[in-house]
Amino acid sequence: MSIHELMFYLFSGMILLFSVLTVTSRRILRAAVYLLFVLVSTAGIYFMLNYQFLAAVQLTLYAGGIVVLIIFSILLTSHISQKFEPLGVKKMVFSALAVAAGALLSIMTILDYGFDTVVTTSQNPDMELIGTSLLSYEKNGYVLPFEVISVLLLAAMVASIVIAKKEKSK
Amino acid sequence: MLSEIPLSYFLVVSTLMFFIGIYGFLTRKNLITILMAVELILNSVNINFVAFNRYLFPNQLEGHFFSLFIIAVAAAEAAVAIAIIISVYRRYSNIDVERVDTMKF
């Protein structure tokens, strides 16, 4: 077993284990920390696939930004020591059945389909290429989605300030 | 190198992660935990995009850029969702989806 395979199994095992813990843990703060582990292992998978810029974005934006935001809102809205009530057996069984059926169908389809993979020496796209294609409007340029995303981020920022603002007492 | 691991392994991992997220979405009652399940689903889609990009079209960057844009959209979505959650908490003093049903018909 080579080091690549070992890394892959390690990261995917961590992803699956901590994903299950994220959706089943009865303490909400622990669930958030398990989510952080899932996101960090995903960044590890990106590093393995040799997309270093994407992995860095995943670490700073997802693991750094979104998880901190979620933990802040947990601290604002619930007590630390609060535990959820255990789930009803009926709901748990039926959800698990639906999910298992869906997963089985998808995985069987994936394993059945022969992908014709191109095996090349995978190189890391350098920063210059990423920057120029983000701002180019020619072929393989992404300036339109880039601008749309920037407007969306501005709108989301204004919207979240307006929604979360305290109403004036009349 | 990477060619030792077939593409379908990555797809199986991301499929399992997607359906674990759906399980959380179906069974959780707290709004923040539902939001975390949605983040799991978005993340699994990202793994799919990146693996397809690396294995099927290694000379282009479409999947890479789509993952970047999905991460940006997920950040915006999380910010707005948390603003809504805080607003709901202020009005009802809890964020349980089964107790916030004023608009239910």
Q: Are residues A115 and A136 in the same domain?
A: no
Residues A43 and A82 in one domain: yes
Reported ipTM: 0.91
Q: Are residues A116 and A161 in the same domain?
A: no
Taking only the tens place, the pLDDT of each residue in A61-103 is 988 889 999 999 999 887 777 777 777 888 889 999 999 999 9
Report the number of distinct structural domains present in chain A: 2
Partners of residue A22 in chain B, C-beta under 8 Å: 20, 24, 36-37, 40
Domain ranges, ordered by start, for chain B:
2-92
Same domain, A94 and A133: no
> Do A50 and A9 belong together in one domain?
yes
Distance, first Cα to last Cα, chain A: 70
One domain for residues A8 and A91: yes
**A121 and A132 part of one domain:** no
**Fold classification of B2-92 (topology level):** Helix Hairpins (1.10.287)
What average pLDDT does the segment B21-25 reach?
Answer: 93
CB distance B26–A99 less than 8 Å? yes
Q: Are residues A53 and A99 in the same domain?
A: yes
- The confidence score (pLDDT) of residue B50 equals 92
Same structural domain, A11 and A87: yes
Q: Which of B4, B13, B76 sits opposite A152 (nearest CB)?
A: B76
- Please check whether residues A11 and A64 belong to one and the same domain: yes
Count of CB contacts below 8 A, A vs B?
213
Cα nearest neighbour of B82 on chain A? A73
**Closest by CA position to A106, among listed B64, B43, B7, B8:** B8
Q: Are A66 and A43 in contact (CB under 8 A)?
A: no
Q: What Cα–Cα distance (Å) separates residue A4 from each residue in A10, A57, A143, B54? A: 10, 22, 35, 15
- Please give the pLDDT value at position A139: 80
Alpha carbons B9 and B51: distance in angstroms, whole number: 10
- Domain range holding A114? 3-125
pTM beyond 0.80: the answer is yes
Q: Clarify whether residues A37 and A117 are in a common domain.
A: yes
Verify that A111 and A141 share a domain, yes or no.
Answer: no
Q: What is the CATH number of the domain that holds A8?
A: 1.20.120.1200
For chain B, say whether A168 makes contact (Cβ under 8 Å).
Answer: no
Q: Is B78 close to A66, i.e. CB distance below 8 A?
A: yes
